[in-house]
A and B are shown apart, each in its own frame.
Chain A
């Protein structure tokens, strides 16, 4: 181990304090974007797991609202029945898939044709390509949802980005999406909003092309949950997190087994080391 004499140590600490003060002051000078609050998610933390009912509700919101503009190109219908997912049965997934029409082909005569979806298809996309998507949305491209929950973040600032390393806070993206969906309001009086844009206090620059997507009772939940804006925003955000990180549950469960193994192994090696080194003076 490095040894620090008292004088040295004070010196280092002083140096660090100066830096911390200096940077935290400058960090506050940044941006008008409202700070995103940490939300309570079942899948957060080391024991995190998805809430099946919530994912099913989120899927319903995606399907009935979001999917009219947003694609989910990397997600397959079959994923809906896989372990660590929303917990649909294989039969249910077959029905869900068959409700969407897929363009397939070419057939034996060189023609493209439409057929009902199968579990092995990816989610059907609302637009044929990016250009069509832009043309239908005033030039703005509605981003693909597959990994969006991992592709967004919030400004954490010092010292939080450092604390996050050891608390395992990985929900910045989904926190941002949840805040954004609840962040629509009338712009302040002195705010100049460009035509076709909408005011959102969490969006960088506060002007977003997407209009408020969720209103009270936008969907009617099959399980009887009251479809408030907050509820739907929470459900669809959770669903997007699952879509971005479908192996999260398996990953965290395996992490526990690995950790137990490593701790036991470390303990055994520690005592082996002690025993071997007891043979000589050290």
Chain B
């Protein structure tokens, strides 16, 4: 996309400033005037929602860190101190805890929107890969954050996950002990997890900047998947998308507030209100809901090393997705077969999540093996083959044409309804 700056400095000072540091120009061109396809629907507002989530987590996290004590003997009590004695500590902690879940809810909507509209396809491969990097960093950050309250699920979750590294041949045990800073999950582990949990959101922030930069080079994808061809295909980001994003964000905040104020503990495990005890293993060790699909994949494989590799592959495969999908058509709207397989894939992921919360035995184990196999079949067989055999529907010439056509159909319907 051509990037002619439309910024005109108004005052003498802004002229002077612009010649020395064109920051206002950069913000103007990238936020106010940024040409955005005119047909983006509400599924495209989740990028803004995610930015809000990241900032919320960082701000509440900084405040929590002022009162939290990263020490195996004191961490649990310090969280209760925040809940009981710190002014509005309960609110800040619940925002942070519920915020993690909301962050993942939003990121899953964002990812699945990308999958539906083919947002990973050329020329947006780097944009997609940066997104996967952000997701991976989010998973690691969330896992470490969950360890900090030092409840039973914190401790045993940390034990299960860090033990996964012990399957690496030859050096596995050494690496695990190096991660622990000792011979078990203990004080040293908690302290380093706290330190890294504080660091990683800023790394995420950095990659988010690259993600947005890449987005602003290629421009947005859109629901019809046709590239922007002329000026009338786009509208300036402000006010059209600032107001749309803001409305969507506030709707999302209503759900967010529901959980903070009326259901704050339902998304967490009750065992995490029991202080960590290395001598008592909980009946079921489960991760938070947003990691359950990967947990199901991990336990579906009979060998420990195999489970770890396959679980890793489940995320790694997303990096090469742009080259696995052989179809040139981006949007599922014009791909009748892909659309069906897309929804099967969605149901398969939800099923994996449910299976991750159940004991891997009997029918559950069989089901998780089938779903795990299907997860990879979708990427390795369905996507490459579909592109070759599928006959796409006719694709609109331009975004504007698609919009006008849609309007005509809507107007006709309204007229026939009146008549």
User: Which chain A residues have a beta carbon within 8 Å of chain B's beta carbons?
Assistant: 1-4, 8, 11-12, 15-16, 19, 22-23, 26, 46, 73-74, 76, 79, 143, 146-148, 150-153, 158, 164-165, 168-170, 172-173, 204, 244, 246-247, 251-252, 254-256, 258-259, 262-263, 265-266, 269-270, 272-273, 276-277, 280-282
A255 to B261, CA, bound (A): 5
Contact check: which of B91, B94, B253, B403 meets A262 at CB < 8 Å?
B253
The reply to whether A22 and B363 contact each other, CB–CB distance below 8 Å, is yes
A151 is contacted by which of B91, B251, B271 (Cβ under 8 Å)?
A: B271
> Is A172 within 8 A of B235, CB to CB?
no
Given known pairs A46-B262, A265-B250, the reply for A8 and B240 (CB within 8 Å) is no
Q: Is the interface of A mostly helix, strand, loop or mixed?
A: helix
Name the residue in A254, A256, A269, A272 with the highest tally of chain B Cβ atoms < 10 Å from its Cβ. A269
Residue B8, interface by CB 8 Å: no
CB distance from B335 to the nearest CB of A (A): 12
Taken together as a complex, chains A and B put the C-alpha atoms of A168 and B258 apart, in Å, by 9
- Report Cα–Cα, A12/B346, bound state, in Å: 10
Minimum Cβ distance to chain B for residue A265 (Å): 5
In the complex with contacts A23-B354, A74-B84, A150-B270, A270-B247 CB distance below 8 A = yes
Partner of B91, one of A170, A251, A273: A251
A249 CA / B243 CA spacing, docked (Å):
34
CB–CB A254/B80 < 8 A: no
Nearest to A26 among chain B residues (CB) is: B363
- The size bracket of the interface on B is 35 or more
Q: What distance in Å separates the Cβ of A263 from its nearest Cβ neighbour in chain B?
A: 7
A sample of 8 inter-chain contacts (CB < 8 A) reads: A1-B43, A22-B363, A151-B274, A165-B266, A255-B262, A262-B250, A262-B257, A272-B243
B80 cross-chain contacts in A, Cβ below 8 A: 74, 146-147
- Does B273 count as interface, using CB distance less than 8 angstroms? yes
Task: Give Cα A74 to B80, complex, Å.
Answer: 7
Whether, in the assembled complex, B347 has its beta carbon less than 8 Å from a beta carbon of chain A, the answer is: yes
Nearest CB on A from B269, distance (A)? 8
Q: How far is the CA of A183 from the CA of B3 in the complex (A)?
A: 73
Does any Cβ of A come within 8 Å of B6's Cβ?
Answer: no
Interchain CB contact under 8 A, B347 and A12: yes
Contact across chains for B38 and A282 when beta carbons are under 8 A apart = yes
Question: Which applies to chain B's interface (DSSP): helix, strand, loop or mixed?
Answer: helix
Determine, out of B17-25, B140-148, B336-344, the stretch whose residues face the partner at the interface.
B336-344
Of all chain A residues, the one with the shortest Cβ separation from B94 is A251
Within the assembled complex, what's the spacing in Å between the Cα atoms of A158 and B340? Answer: 26
Contact A276:B354 (CB < 8 A) given known A2-B116, A74-B84, A262-B257: no
Interface residue B301 (Cβ < 8 Å from any Cβ of A) = no
Point out which of B41, B258, B358, B364 has the most chain A C-beta atoms below 10 A from its C-beta.
B258
With A26-B363, A276-B239 known to touch, is A153 a contact of B270 (CB < 8 Å)? yes
Q: Are B266 and A1 in contact (CB under 8 A)?
A: no
Chain A residues, Cβ within 8 Å of B239: 276
Which residue in A146, A168, A172, A266 is a CB contact (below 8 Å) of B270? A172
Question: Which residues of the other chain, A, contact B333 by a CB distance below 8 angstroms?
Answer: 3
In this assembly, does B329 line the interface, its C-beta being within 8 Å of a C-beta of chain A?
no
Contact A19 B347 (CB under 8 A): yes
The interface residues of chain A lying within 8 Å CB-to-CB of B260 are: 255
CB distance from A42 to the nearest CB of B (A): 15
Q: Which of A12, A170, A252 contacts B266 (CB 8 A)?
A: A170
Query: Is B1's CB within 8 Å of the partner chain A?
Result: no
Known A1-B41, A3-B333, A276-B239: A170·B263 in contact at CB below 8 Å: yes
Kindly state whether residue B7 has any CB partner on chain A within 8 Å: no
A263 and chain B: residue at smallest CB distance: B254
B265 near A170: Cβ-Cβ < 8 Å: yes
The minimal Cβ–Cβ distance linking B201 to chain A, given in whole angstroms, is 25
A204–B282 Cα distance when bound, in Å, is 12
Asked, given contacts A16-B347, A255-B260, whether A282 binds B403 with beta carbons under 8 Å apart, the answer is: yes
B283 CB within 8 Å of chain A: yes
Sample of 16 more A-B contacts, CB < 8 Å, known A164-B266, A280-B240: A2-B43, A22-B363, A23-B358, A74-B81, A147-B80, A164-B263, A251-B264, A256-B261, A259-B258, A263-B254, A269-B243, A269-B246, A269-B247, A272-B247, A276-B243, A281-B404
CA distance in complex: A266, B39 (Å) = 21
| Interface residues in B5-50 (C-beta closer than 8 Å to A) | 38-39, 41-43
A146 to B116, CA, bound (A): 48
Contacts of A265 in B (CB 8 A): 250
The reply to whether the CB of B351 lies closer than 8 angstroms to some CB of chain A is yes
Q: Which residues of A contact B263 (CB under 8 A)?
A: 164-165, 168, 170
Cβ of A254 and Cβ of B91 under 8 Å apart? yes
**Whole-angstrom CA separation of A31 from B204 in the bound complex:** 43
The answer for the CA separation of A12 and B13 in the assembled complex, in Å, is 60
Chain A residues closer than 8 Å to B244, beta-carbon distance: 273, 277
B77 close to chain A: CB less than 8 A: yes
User: Could you tell me if A147 and B235 are in contact, using CB atoms closer than 8 angstroms?
Assistant: no
Which residues of chain B are near A147, meaning CB under 8 Å?
Answer: 80, 273
Q: Tell me if B91 and A26 are in contact (CB < 8 A).
A: no
A50 to chain B, nearest CB (A): 15
- A26 CB contact (under 8 Å) in B246, B261, B283, B362: B362
Q: State the CA gap A3–B343 with chains docked (Å).
A: 11
A32 CB to closest chain B CB (Å) equals 14
Q: Does B314 contact A (CB under 8 A)?
A: no
User: Closest Cβ of chain B: how far from A81's Cβ, in Å?
Assistant: 14
Residues on B with C-beta less than 8 A from A19 are 347, 351, 354
Contact B347–A15 (Cβ < 8 Å)? yes
A22-B367, A251-B261 known; A266 vs B41 contact (CB < 8 Å): no
CB distance from B271 to the nearest CB of A (A): 7
